[in-house]
């Protein structure tokens, strides 16, 4: 008995209750993965020559290409052999004008190609970007790229729907374009797609979209002393960059780099739409479900119709820069142009 009592006194205490197991969810995994990638980006950002979070004002004054232009050039040099055509039209841009580059978006590569090539003449380019690329779950690769290159170079334009699959579409929201206006007033250049419709990626249509975007025309309307510079991109290859950029890059790198024509058109000054300044106010009331007056309804329809007409004229000018097979419905003989 004494031995038993001694043994009992030396016995280890009962183990504490285990903490409840953490519930695994897709959201928690995504949050953890994003945190890891963000820490990696911050750790290595200072060691990368052009991947810095911002560009300071002294570099702007010295006309150094910004991080977006530098990154685009590195990428395009790896994948394509571009040639710029129509440089003489750059001399027609009046001094002091704020430049809005309106480009094609037949391929996902059109925008970075245009940024890389036009960066030789406009070193401080900022870009209008789809809203789902501002969300990690919407487009992880582009989200990381924004952190690396510098978020100040990317400006949000609304999109709805799931990426790919032909069900993604742009949503015109005037509110998106006022930050772009401020960027132009800070002596930057804005580049924006004059057409965008992801449904064509699913259909693999290697030509301009049937529907122009209103963004470039509206930004021009609300920004005094601005001018639109049409820039078309013609990739001389089979369809690439149609929603599968990653696999297309690998395919390009393994083969010879495709030639690309970057064609600059004549600078464009659109007719002023009288009263366009109140369009955003009416749009916001409509978006909130507030009742519009008869006059506001008439004005809204008038503004919308004029913007659509000007946007159709802009995409027609881009079509004129492209070979016939890439013009889509925007050929010279199509009676639906501008409708």
* First CA to last CA distance, the chain: 103
Mean pLDDT score of the chain: 79
pLDDT for the residue numbered 35: 56
Q: Do the beta carbons of residue 103 and residue 194 sit within 8 Å?
A: yes
pLDDT at 62 over 80: no
State the pLDDT confidence band at 57, using cuts at 50, 70 and 90. Answer: very low
Determine the Cα–Cα distance for residues 192 and 125; give it in Å rounded to an integer.
10
Most confident residue range from 43-47, 101-105, 146-150, 194-198: 101-105
pLDDT at 145 over 60: yes
* Higher per-residue confidence, 45 vs 243: 243
Average pLDDT over residues 40-63: 42
* Higher per-residue confidence, 7 vs 144: 144
What would the pLDDT profile of 207-221 be if each residue is shown by its tens digit?
998 888 899 999 999
State the pLDDT confidence band at 199, using cuts at 50, 70 and 90. Answer: low
pLDDT at 204 over 80: no
What would the pLDDT profile of 165-193 be if each residue is shown by its tens digit?
444 445 788 999 999 999 999 999 999 99
What would the pLDDT profile of 2-31 be if each residue is shown by its tens digit?
544 554 555 545 555 555 555 545 555 555
Percent of the residues in the chain that have a pLDDT greater than 90, as a whole number? 52
pLDDT for the residue numbered 136: 58
pLDDT at 32 over 70: no
Determine the Cα–Cα distance for residues 160 and 158; give it in Å rounded to an integer.
7
Whole-number Cα distances in Å, 167 to 160, 199, 201: 8, 6, 10
What would the pLDDT profile of 262-301 be if each residue is shown by its tens digit?
999 999 999 999 999 899 999 999 888 999 999 999 999 9
Determine the Cα–Cα distance for residues 108 and 83; give it in Å rounded to an integer.
18
pLDDT at 134 over 90: no
pLDDT at 86 over 90: yes
């Amino acid at each position: 008995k004494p031995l038993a009592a001694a043994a009992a006194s030396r016995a280890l205490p009962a183990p504490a209750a285990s903490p409840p197991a953490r519930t695994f969810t897709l959201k928690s995994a995504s949050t953890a993965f994003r945190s890891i990638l963000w820490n990696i980006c911050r750790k290595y950002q200072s060691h990368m020559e052009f991947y810095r979070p911002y560009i300071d004002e002294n570099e702007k004054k010295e006309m150094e290409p910004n991080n977006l232009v530098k990154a685009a050039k590195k990428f395009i040099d790896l994948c394509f052999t571009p040639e710029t055509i129509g440089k003489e039209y750059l001399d027609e841009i009046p001094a002091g004008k704020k430049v809005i580059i309106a480009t094609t978006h037949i391929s996902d590569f059109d925008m970075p190609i245009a940024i890389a090539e036009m960066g030789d003449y406009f070193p401080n380019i900022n870009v209008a970007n789809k809203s789902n690329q501002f969300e990690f779950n919407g487009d992880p690769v582009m989200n990381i790229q924004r952190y690396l290159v510098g978020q100040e170079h990317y400006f949000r334009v609304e999109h709805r729907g799931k990426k790919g699959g032909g069900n993604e579409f742009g949503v015109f929201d005037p509110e998106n374009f006022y930050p772009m206006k401020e960027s132009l007033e800070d002596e930057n250049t804005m580049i924006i797609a004059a057409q965008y419709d992801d449904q064509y990626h699913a259909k693999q249509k290697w030509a301009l979209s049937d529907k122009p975007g209103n963004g470039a025309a509206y930004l021009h309307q609300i920004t005094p002393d601005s001018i639109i510079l049409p820039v078309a991109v013609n990739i001389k290859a089979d369809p690439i960059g149609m929603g599968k950029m990653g696999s297309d890059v690998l395919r390009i790198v393994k083969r010879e780099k495709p030639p690309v024509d970057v064609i600059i058109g004549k600078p464009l000054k659109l007719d002023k739409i009288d009263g366009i300044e109140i369009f955003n106010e009416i749009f916001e009331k409509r978006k909130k479900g507030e009742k519009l007056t008869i006059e506001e309804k008439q004005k809204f329809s008038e503004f919308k119709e004029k913007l659509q007409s000007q946007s159709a004229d802009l995409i027609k000018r881009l079509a004129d820069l492209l070979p016939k097979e890439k013009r889509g419905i925007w050929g010279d003989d199509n009676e639906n142009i501008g409708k």
